[in-house]
Amino acid sequence: MLRVGINGYGTIGKRVADAVRAQPDMEVAGVAKVSPDYVALGAAEAEYPLYAVDEDRTDGFHEAGIDLAGTVDDLVADSDIVVDATPSGIGAQNRPLYERHDTPALFQGGEDATIAEVSFNARANYDEATDADYVRVVSCNTTGLSRLVSPIHEDYGIEKVRTTLVRRGGDPDQTGRGPINDALPDPVSIPSHHGPDVQTVFPELDIDTIGLKVPTTMMHVHAVNITLEEAPDDVSEIRDRLRGEDRLLMIPDYAGIDGAGTLKDLALDAGRPRGDIWENCIWEESITIEGRDLYCMQAIHQESDVVPENIDAIRSVTGLLDGPESRALTNETLGIGL
């Protein structure tokens, strides 16, 4: 059993921990927390060994009745690999800790791409992370775009991608984020940073992105235009191709799903943990071909789409399975595509 430590137990970290626990070939060595808040209580209730990030703050945990297994240093020493899911920029500060213990680590998309040898997406470049010591699992938006671009790139060739990203203002627990009553160009500069981030996975891809931020916590929505090198005979060909991808969920017109709200409602009705949606959700009717231009709209659940990617990255780095085997096992254990 591969022992996986989780450093940074927030939106992404707690989901990755639960996903690791669902795998037959790995287990949670423990999770590291800064403070004894409700999330730490949840970790204790889930019986994850808890490690304190800051030695000077262990009293708070004891006062809250939370037992500690040690400090983050102990956790790294006891782990075969660490998933660092700390806030943007903290991962870079943590890298020397992993180096000191000679422990491989995954970082998240909020870190600069230079933090790791590889920027990872399970569908696009699984093999590149094999034997790497440090890997960055790209952000939610970059994951969503990489999954969509991969099969199209393989089958039709891509001349240029243009995407407008309508981004959620914050996650549900980020009570201080906004806007609360506006639609903001964000960033105002064009292209936004998302295009260059996709190029960390597809260095040759010509892609421009524009970003906006709106008052919702639910999901991002992408309006995508891809100029193909070679157009298909019929749009149904592209629909079938995308339908064949496990982590692309086609939303049929008859389902009456008109936005992120109904998607989240569906996920909760389906009994998915935390209402998570690990797949890209593509409105089937939006898939359109005009000459060599492909158009579509997709919703991306920012809190969860990178979770299966972290599981696959763990297997790639440690050599547990090859890409197709790992993706299939992750899909099966999490219930992806059901």
Tell the smallest beta-carbon distance from residue 179 to ligand NAD (Å): 17
Q: Which of the residues 190 through 249 are near ligand NAD (CB under 6 A)? A: none
Site for ligand NAD (CB under 6 A): which residue of 16, 31, 32, 228? 32
Please count the CA atoms within 13 angstroms of the CA of 52 that sit on its side-chain side: 16
Sheet containing 134-137: which strands, arranged edge to edge? 70-71, 50-52, 26-33, 2-7, 81-84, 105-107, 134-137, 118-120
Tell the smallest beta-carbon distance from residue 170 to ligand NAD (Å): 9
Torsional sign, CA 238, 125, 298, 231: negative
Which of the stretches 62-70, 105-113, 127-135, 188-196 binds ligand NAD when contact is defined by CB under 6 A? 105-113
Query: Judged by CB under 6 A, does residue 318 bind ligand NAD?
Result: no
For residues 86 and 298, which CB has a smaller minimum distance to ligand NAD in the complex? 86
Nearest-angstrom CA–CA distance, 97 and 75: 11
To the query of whether residue 281 is one of the catalytic residues in this protein, the response is: no
Tell me how many degrees the CA angle 281-162-180 measures, rounded to the nearest 5: 60
Tell the smallest beta-carbon distance from residue 222 to ligand NAD (Å): 14
Residue 45: Cβ-neighbour burial (10 angstroms; 0-12, 13-18, 19+):
exposed
Site for ligand NAD (CB under 6 A): which residue of 3, 22, 60, 110? 110
Site for ligand NAD (CB under 6 A): which residue of 19, 34, 50, 148? 34
Nearest-angstrom CA–CA distance, 83 and 156: 35
Strands 105-107 and 81-84 come out as: parallel
Site for ligand NAD (CB under 6 A): which residue of 121, 200, 209, 302? 302
Cis peptide before 172 (omega within 30 of 0): no
Which of the stretches 74-82, 106-114, 115-123, 313-321 binds ligand NAD when contact is defined by CB under 6 A? 106-114
Residue nearest to ligand NAD (CB): 10
Tell the smallest beta-carbon distance from residue 142 to ligand NAD (Å): 9
- List the one residue out of 93, 83, 69, 65 whose CA is nearest residue 14: 83
Catalytic residue, from 40, 68, 118, 140: name it: 140
8 A C-beta contact, residue 11 and residue 171: yes
Per-residue interface string for the shown chain with ligand NAD, residues 252-291, x marking contact by CB under 6 A: ----------------------------------------
Task: DSSP letter for 227, please.
Answer: E
* Number of residues forming the site for ligand NAD (CB under 6 A): 26
C-alpha Rg value of the chain to the nearest Å: 20
Which of the stretches 79-87, 126-134, 251-259, 288-296 binds ligand NAD when contact is defined by CB under 6 A? 79-87
For residues 232 and 308, which CB has a smaller minimum distance to ligand NAD in the complex? 308
Nearest-angstrom CA–CA distance, 314 and 104: 9
Tell the smallest beta-carbon distance from residue 317 to ligand NAD (Å): 17
Retrieve residue 215's tokens: 């008052």
What amino acid positions are annotated as catalytic residues?
Answer: 140
Residues at the site binding ligand NAD, with contacts judged by CB under 6 A: 7-13, 32, 34, 39, 53, 85-88, 90, 108-111, 139-140, 171, 302-303, 306
